[in-house]
Structure 1
Amino acid sequence: MSMQSPVRLAPLDRWLPLWIGLAMVAGLALGGFVPALGEALAALEVGGISLPIALGLLVMMYPVLAKVRYDRVAAVTGDRRLLVSSLALNWVVGPALMFALAWVFLPDLPEYRTGLIVVGLARCIAMVVIWNDLACGDREAAAVLVAINSVFQVVAFSLLGWFYLTVLPGWLGLDSAGLDVSIGQIAGNVLVFLGIPLAAGFASRWVGERVRGRDWYEERFVPRIGPWALYGLLFTIVLLFALQGDAVTSRPLDVARIALPLLVYFAVMWGVGMATGRTLALGYARSTTLAFTAAGNNFELAIAVAIGTFGAASGQALAGVVGPLIEVPVLVGLVYVSLWVGRRWFPGTAPAAPSGSTTAQQEVRA
C-alpha cells in the first residue's frame, strides 16, 4: 500500500464539525421560529418519502458514488472475510444489540423502546458513504456493502421486525409489539436513496472516462463535484432539525433517554467493526468501511416505518427522528477517532492526516 501526501484542505473540509454544528442550530432555529416550515416540509412527500430530504441525500451521495472505481468492485466481492463479517455485524449483531439496549435503558417506555428497535433493524444505505469517504475508507467496498445491505433490507426487514418485536419478547416473557410494513415501501426507499445516486455515479464515470479519459475524470471532474457531497449533507441536517426541532426542544428529557442507548450503540458497533477488521487483517481502508457500515442506520426508512405504522405524533416516531440527530455528530466524531486509531492499529496503511482535518481529499491507494 502506498499513500498520497496530505493536501491542503478547503475550509469546508477543515471546519466540518463547526459547519455541522451550525447546520443543527440553524435547523432548530428555523423549526422554532417558523413553525409552518416543518408542516410544509412534511407535506412534501411522495409514497412516504420526504422530497426535500431525498434531494439533500441524493446531492450528498452522488459525488461519493461518482468517485468509486467500479472496475475494482470485483476485488471487493471476492473478499469473503469482509462480506461475511459485514453481514454478521449488520444483520445479527446490530439488531440484537439495539434490542438489548432498548430494553436495558427504556424498560418503562414501550413506545420509545419499539422505535429504537426499528432503528436498529434499518441498516445504513445512504449517509454511511460520506462518513466512510471522510475517514478515507475503501469507496469500492462501501459501494458493495451498501448494495448488499439494500438487498437484505428488502428481504429481511419485515421478518426481523416480527422477530424482535413479537417473537423474541414472547420467548423472554416481555411485552410484545407489532410491525406492519410492506416490502414495496422498503424497496421504494432503497431505490430512491441508493439506486438513483448509484446509477448516476456509475453513468458519470462510464461516460466521463470514455469521452475524456480517466485522468481528466479524476483530476478535473471529481474535484469539481466533490464539495457538493458536504453541501448536501449540511442541507439535509438543516432540514432534519427543522422538521423535528419542536419535538426535540419540547421533550428534552425524553430525547436524552433515547439518546443514551443510541450513543452506546454507535460506539459499540463502530468499535466492534474496527476491531473485527484488524483481527481479520483487512487493512485500514476496509476495516474503516466495515466499522462505519456497521454503525450507521437507515434513518429515512426507520422514520417512515415508525410514522406509517404508529403515527407521526407517536413515541416510536420521536425515537426514529432522534436517531439521525444523534448519529450525525457521533459519526462525525468517529471519523476523527478512526483516523487516530488507524495510525496506531494500522501503521503504514492508514492516512497520515493533519491534525484537525477530516482528510476528505486524501485517499489510501493500493
Structure 2
Amino acid sequence: MEQEKAKGLGIFEKYLTVWVALCMIVGVMIGKYIPVIPTTLGKFEYYQVSVPTAILIWLMIYPMMLKIDFTSIVSAAKKPKGLIITCTVNWLIKPFTMYAISAFFFFVVFKGLIAPDLAQEYVAGAVLLGAAPCTAMVFVWSYLTKGDPAYTLVQVAVNDLIILALYAPIVAVLLGVGNVVVPMNTLILSTVLFVVIPLLLGVITRMFVVKQKGIAYFETVFLKKFDKVTIIGLLLTLLIIFSFQGGRILSNPLHIVLIAIPLTLQTFFIFAIAYVWARFWKLPHAIAAPAGMIGASNFFELSVAVAISLFGLQSGATLATVVGVLVEVPVMLLLVKIANQTAGWFDQATVSTVDKSVTFKK
C-alpha cells in the first residue's frame, strides 16, 4: 500500500511547497517589473471580485465538487459534531483571539517599531481576517488532507450563512466602529462564484457521466482525469494574487514580517483547537482535518474588500489583509502536512461511524 501511495505521488504533490514558493516569488516579480499584466487583469473585476481569479478557483474546486452527490450532503448534515466544532471555533473563539493576539503584538511587543495609529490599522486588518472563515481555499486544503468533500461543503455553506448575520456586528464590536459597511454584493457574489456555481457544474457533470458510462467508469476513469487540475489551479491563482500585491509587499518588507507573526500564531492556534477537539470527540480524520482547516484559513477576498471600503487602498488595514494572503498558503500547507502525518491519531474505528455515502475515493 505504501509503495502504491509513493508511486502515485506526482511531482506536483511531492514538491508542492516548492512550486507554491516559486509562484509567489514570480507573482511578486510580475507585479513589480511587469505591472501591465496585473493592471490588465485587474480591469476584469465585478464588485471587487477578480473574474480571472474566480475562474482559476473554479479549476481548484470543480474536481472536488465532482465527488459530491446530494445524498452525501444530506448524510453529512445529519452528523452535527463537526459543524458544532466549526461554528464554535469560527464564531465564538477565532475573532476574539485574533484581536487579542494581534493587539498584544502590535501594541506591546512591536510598540517601538510601529507608530500607534498604524498599529491600530494593522489590528483592524487582522480582525477583518479573523472574522471571516474560509469559503473557497478550504476545499483545496480538504482535498490535500483527503477530507470528506460533502462535509467540507456543508461546513462552508453554514459559515456563509453565518457570515451574512455576524460578520459586520463582530467587526463593529471588536474595532469600535459603529458604521461597518460590509459590501454585500461582494459577499454574495463570492459565495455564488466560489461555491454555488462549481457545485452545480460538478453535480451536473457527475449525473451526466454516470448516466452515460456508469458509476464505475466515473470513479475509476473520469475522476482521474482531474488529478492535477486542483494543484495547477492553486499555482496559477497564486501567480495572479501576488502579481496584484507585488509592489505593496516589496515596499514594506519589515512590516510584512511583523504583521505575519501574529497572523501565523493565530492560524496554528485555531487549527489546534478545532483539530484536538475533533480528536477528543472521536471524529474521523476526514472530518477533523477540514474542521481545523476552515477556521485556520480566511475568506481573504471579503477581508480585503471590506478593508478597502472602510480604510482605503493604501491603509495599514488593507496591507494586513494582503499579508494574510501571503502567510496563509505556506502556513496552511504546513498544517496540511501536520494533519496528514497525524492521521493515525484518529481511531480507525470511528470511520465506521460515518455513513459510507460521505466517503470518496482518491
Amino acid at match of 2:291: L
Amino acid at match of 1:165: L
1:104-158 per-position Cα deviation (integer Å, ceiling 9, x unaligned): 1122311111011001111111001111111111221111101111111222222
TM-score w.r.t. length of structure 2: 0.89
1:163-312 alignment, distance < 5 Å: 163-166=173-176, 178-312=179-313
Aligned partner (choices 153, 157, 164) of residue 154 of structure 1: 164
Paired residue secondary structure (1:313): coil
Work out the CA distance in 2 between the residues paired with 1:231 and 1:242: 17
Q: Contact (CA 8 Å) 2:142, 2:293: kept in 1 or not?
A: yes
Amino acid at match of 2:222: F
2:32 aligns with 32
Paired residue secondary structure (2:146): coil
The number of residues matched between the two structures is 343
Work out the CA distance in 2 between the residues paired with 1:236 and 1:40: 16
TM-score w.r.t. length of structure 1: 0.88
Shift of 1:348: 3.8
2:144 aligns with 134
Shift of 1:273: 1.2
Q: Which moved more, 1:7-16 or 1:47-56?
A: 7-16
2:21 aligns with 21
- Mapped pair 1:117 → 2:149: no
Q: Contact (CA 8 Å) 2:284, 2:347: kept in 1 or not?
A: no
Distance 1:297 1:83, change over 3 A: same
Shift of 1:349: 6.9
Paired residue secondary structure (1:329): helix
1:15-47 per-position Cα deviation (integer Å, ceiling 9, x unaligned): 111111111111112112113333333332111
Q: Which moved more, 1:94-103 or 1:184-193?
A: 184-193
Q: Contact (CA 8 Å) 1:121, 1:157: kept in 2 or not?
A: yes
1:85 aligns with 85
Work out the CA distance in 1 between the residues paired with 2:34 and 2:185: 34
Work out the CA distance in 1 between the residues paired with 2:145 and 2:162: 25
Distance 1:53 1:104, change over 3 A: same
Q: Which moved more, 1:274-283 or 1:8-17?
A: 8-17
Shift of 1:207: 2.0
Work out the CA distance in 2 between the residues paired with 1:190 and 1:302: 14
Distance 1:50 1:130, change over 3 A: same
Distance 1:138 1:4, change over 3 A: farther
Shift of 1:316: 1.3
Work out the CA distance in 2 between the residues paired with 1:330 and 1:350: 28
Paired residue secondary structure (2:60): helix
Work out the CA distance in 2 between the residues paired with 1:346 and 1:222: 27
Work out the CA distance in 2 between the residues paired with 1:95 and 1:53: 26
CA RMSD of aligned residues (A): 2.2
Work out the CA distance in 2 between the residues paired with 1:349 and 1:27: 45
Q: Which moved more, 1:272-281 or 1:73-82?
A: 73-82
Work out the CA distance in 2 between the residues paired with 1:29 and 1:289: 33
Work out the CA distance in 2 between the residues paired with 1:48 and 1:349: 46
Q: Contact (CA 8 Å) 1:137, 1:285: kept in 2 or not?
A: yes
1:333 aligns with 334
Q: Contact (CA 8 Å) 1:165, 1:179: kept in 2 or not?
A: no
Shift of 1:319: 0.9
Work out the CA distance in 2 between the residues paired with 1:245 and 1:43: 17
- Mapped pair 1:143 → 2:144: no
Distance 1:308 1:296, change over 3 A: same
Amino acid at match of 2:42: A
Shift of 1:262: 0.8
Work out the CA distance in 2 between the residues paired with 1:220 and 1:307: 45
Work out the CA distance in 2 between the residues paired with 1:116 and 1:16: 27
Q: Contact (CA 8 Å) 2:307, 2:321: kept in 1 or not?
A: yes
Shift of 1:177: 7.0
2:105 aligns with 105
The percentage of aligned residue pairs carrying the same residue is: 28
Distance 1:70 1:17, change over 3 A: farther
Q: Contact (CA 8 Å) 1:350, 1:364: kept in 2 or not?
A: no
What 5-or-longer segments of structure 1 have no aligned partner?
167-175, 352-362
Q: Contact (CA 8 Å) 1:124, 1:297: kept in 2 or not?
A: yes
Work out the CA distance in 2 between the residues paired with 1:115 and 1:158: 14
Shift of 1:303: 1.0
Distance 1:189 1:364, change over 3 A: closer
Work out the CA distance in 2 between the residues paired with 1:70 and 1:231: 27
Q: Which moved more, 1:6-15 or 1:122-131?
A: 6-15
Shift of 1:48: 1.2
Q: Contact (CA 8 Å) 2:134, 2:294: kept in 1 or not?
A: yes
Shift of 1:56: 1.5
Q: Contact (CA 8 Å) 2:67, 2:360: kept in 1 or not?
A: no
Paired residue secondary structure (1:67): coil
Distance 1:16 1:60, change over 3 A: same
1:309-320 alignment, distance < 5 Å: 309-320=310-321
- Mapped pair 1:47 → 2:47: yes
